[in-house]
Amino acid sequence: MSISHLLPILDNISPYKQYGKVTQVVGLMIESQGPQASVGDLCSITLGHGQKRRILAEVVGFREQNVLLMPYDRVEDISPGSLVESMNHALQVKVGTSMIGSVVDGLGRPIDESFFTEGLQKVPTDNTPPNPLKRPRIQEPLSLGVKAVDSLFSVGKGQRLGIFAGSGVGKSTLMAMIAKNSEADLNVIALIGERGREVRDFIERDLGEAGLSNTIVVVATSDQPALMRIKGAMTATAISEYFRDQGLNVTLMMDSVTRVAMAQREVGLAIGEPPTTKGYTPSVFALLPRLLERSGMSEQGSITAFYTVLVDGDDMNEPIADSVRGILDGHLVLDRRLANKGHFPAINVLTSISRVMNDLVSDDHRATADYMRHMLSVYSESEDLINIGAYKKGTNKEVDVAIAKYPEIMSFLKQGLHDSHDFKETAASMIQQFGIGGK
């Protein structure tokens, strides 16, 4: 049997193990003397005096001749002189089809008592985005089963959309609707920085058994170290990339990018980066495009991605929202006023946009969507006068039409959590109701 194909691998294997020892711990940061390692390399630290256990940590920088490490776990038992061993490679996770229907942590390990070992392949979590010249154009629509999105903000396979909202406006509900109703081959959902209680609520109440059967959920809760939350986002993206390379159309949903940015800010401040815009460090604005650009089209398949962004005080111009909006191919803004009225999904039509919709839909579909947006805009401009009774019918013909059409349009866009609508049926229905024949 020939072993010539193994020779290059053997050439790269070091016969020695690299060790170091912990010298100090300051806040989130572990400083060690040695081992020989590069930024991004994985290390294991031996803790405890009696029953020894190991935790994983990552090299995030250097200070003089010492190595700076961030742990993936809590470090209560660490002590001066604790042994640090370099693993000589960056974090890798095991991925395979047997993971589908399971819930894993930020390192790809099952946390729902599932056990999968068959057909798993190790993949790095931090990959480079596809070559921009090798990305096929987005030309095929993806049915999400959500009328408001399919009709006015049609999404294509490989598109990346942001979902911008304050807390409690329906982000998780919209994500669950997309996961259950989308025609994608597979869903990957990353819950980053969520409250522990909300994880099970989302999986059992919002997603349900039917939704989970075609989904991989990656969880990194708010109590976990900052690096674990960042790796949760990286791992979910790496899992999506693996299945995209198998030729599948994957839907990736990440809730939320804001908490990933906050975790990176914690890491940046701990290693001595200067705080810049609203306390965010420069590495935050370097991480976001590197993470978000990894999704999208490739020559093998597609990752259609939805990234939720928490906007404090519904401020759409805060730094993370502004940065993410400039990277993605469109955004859906959820409006608290609509949510308070019981209108779900609470998408504000006039402040949302899909940048590739015109390449995906027919002329009739596009014209009808423009007409519906125009009617909502006309109504919005005169809404205060209408509500206080100061507007007199007949004063403006266009406003009269908008007043008549407004309840119909809002009723069309409203949808229950368990309702599903096909893209073609939604397009035909809106053209019939609001197109040339419906005017």
Give DSSP secondary structure letters for 4-40.
GGGHHHHHT--SS--EEEEEEEETTEEEEE-----TT
C-alpha to C-alpha distance for 276 and 254, rounded to whole angstroms:
25
DSSP 3-state percent helix, strand, coil across the chain (nearest 5) = 40, 25, 35
> What per-residue confidence (pLDDT) applies to 439?
47
- Confidence at residue 50, expressed as pLDDT on a 0 to 100 scale: 60
CA–CA dist 367, 352 (Å, integer): 17
Residue 368 near residue 434 (C-beta atoms within 8 A): yes
Cα separation, 173 vs 72, whole angstroms: 30
Is the dihedral angle over the CA atoms 260, 288, 184, 108 positive or is it negative? negative
Tokens of 93: 């996770």
- Asked if 296 and 147 count as a contact pair (C-beta separation under 8 A), the reply is no
Contact call for residues 281 and 317 (beta carbons, < 8 A): no
Helix segments in 246-335, DSSP class H: 257-270, 282-292, 319-327
Give the C-alpha separation, 254 to 53, whole Å.
32
Among 163, 147, 143, 142, CA closest to 414: 147
Q: Which residues contact 108 (CB under 8 A, 6 or more apart)?
A: 93, 94, 95, 99, 218, 235, 239
For residue 438, what pLDDT is reported?
47
pLDDT reported for residue 383: 86
Q: Taking the complete model, does pTM exceed 0.85, yes or no?
A: yes
Separation between Cα atoms, residue 409 and residue 126, nearest integer Å = 44
* Helix, strand, or coil (residue 131): coil
Q: Which residue has the tokens 């047997």?
A: 98
Adjacent-strand bridge partners of 251: 187, 304
Give the residues of the chain that fall short of pLDDT 70: 1-16, 49-51, 115-117, 313-315, 436-439
Phi and psi at residue 266, in whole multiples of 5°?
-60, -45
Q: Which one-letter DSSP state was computed for residue 222?
A: T
Are 295 and 237 in contact, with CB atoms under 8 Å apart? yes
DSSP H stretches of helix in 278-333: 282-292, 319-327
pLDDT at 437: 45
Distances, alpha carbon 296 to alpha carbons 13, 19, 156, in Å: 35, 40, 10
Locate 185 and state its tokens.
Answer: 């081959």
